[in-house]
Amino acid sequence: MIRIIKSATVPVPLATRGSTDRPRLEKKYAADPAACQVPGNKLLEAREGIYKDERVKLQLRIDQHDKCCYCETKGFAATSYEAVEHFRPKGGYQQAASDPLTKPGYYWLAYEWHNLYLACTRCNTDYKGNLFPLRYPAARAHSHADALSMEEPLLPDLATEDPTRHLTFRENAAQALDARGQACIDVFGLDRPALIKQRQDHLCNLHNARIVGAFDLSAPLSTRARKFLRDFGYTLAEGKQVVANAKQQWTEAAFDSAQFASMVRAKFPGKPIN
């Protein structure tokens, strides 16, 4: 995970239809708070057509460089459903995975730009779900009348906090620096085996890119350069393109836009980050 710089302009559907619908939810809660706390009730359901509007997703995709906000898998929309993630869950919450769902959730934040991110299905549905652990659960905001500022979430809010203060990587494995980092690993499943394998493959690719990108194919060609072209069957032009691509991949490996940038930054400190 890395810090995410979100657009200062709120996407239109949230600023218009979302702003209009939020008071409806607040009035419903105020009319009968007890009914809204009944397990399984659907009184405060948000209109998903608003927060799932393509314009909201597009802005999140841009701001997050087409990466899942949690696992940093890039281009995940090709193989996974893109979930609009509510950082503070809108429908109900769990302090721990073993707890039942408590209602209502943070219904008043369903359309709030600052509460939305884009996550892959694995991170969103299989792991985080409705989890939102607090350091002091008694301080939790239960309605729009309560102050969020009293809460101390264990999960860092990526738009306002730097997660690397709590979480780093040792090779391909996530390492907690404190309780908040451990909460990230547990809640987002950052050390699930398939993700560790994907990060390992990425590191191997980067090592290769580093080696190939350092190849000198300028004239006169060295014996090593001629062998490189011959071994892979490249023309000189093709070889130069391969080297340029590898050099670019290595140079940009720790950029905000790069896949698994947080792991790469831990592995190669000092690499430029944008």
Which residues partner with 168 through β-bridges? Answer: 175
* Closer by beta carbon to Zn ion, 83 or else 242: 83
**Per this entry, what is the length of the chain?**
274
Q: Which of 2, 46, 71, 264 binds Zn ion (CB under 5 A)?
A: 71
Which range in 46-54, 116-124, 202-210, 258-266 contacts Zn ion by CB under 5 A?
116-124
Question: Given candidates 2, 4, 68, 83, which one binds Zn ion under the rule CB under 5 A?
Answer: 68
Q: Does 253 bind Zn ion (CB under 5 A)?
A: no
**Minimal distance, residue 57 CB to Zn ion, in Å:** 15
Q: Which of 95/125 has CB closer to Zn ion?
A: 125
Here the tokens at position 204 are 């191997």
Nearer to Zn ion, 12 or 194 (CB): 194
CA 244 to each of CA 93, 210, 223, 264, 273: distance values in angstroms, whole numbers, following the listed order: 49, 11, 20, 20, 19
Nearer to Zn ion, 123 or 217 (CB): 123
List 85's β-bridge partners, or say none: 117
Q: Closer to Zn ion by CB, 65 or 140: give it.
A: 65
120 binds Zn ion (CB under 5 A): yes
Q: DSSP letter for 221, please.
A: P
Q: Is 217 in the site for Zn ion (CB under 5 A)?
A: no
**Rounded to the nearest whole angstrom, what is the least distance from the CB of residue 71 to Zn ion in the complex?**
3
Tokens (6 digits) for 99: 């707890």
| Number of Cβ within a 10 Å radius of residue 172 | 19
Could you tell me which stretch among 32-40, 92-100, 120-128, 156-164 binds Zn ion (CB under 5 A)? 120-128
One DSSP character per residue, 224-248 reads HHHHHHHHHT--HHHHHHHHHHHHH
Nearer to Zn ion among residue 70 and residue 117 (C-beta) = 70
**How many CA atoms does the CB half-sphere of 79 hold within 13 Å?**
7
Q: What is the C-alpha separation between 131 and 188, in angstroms, rounded?
A: 10
Count of other CB atoms within 10 angstroms of residue 250: 22
Contact between 93 and 155 under an 8 Å Cβ cutoff? The reply is no
By beta-carbon proximity to Zn ion, the closer residue of 36 and 116 is 116
The mark string for 10-49 relative to Zn ion (x by CB under 5 A, - otherwise) is: ----------------------------------------
Binding of Zn ion by 123 (CB under 5 A): yes
Query: Applying CB under 5 A, which residues contact Zn ion?
Result: 68, 70-71, 120, 123
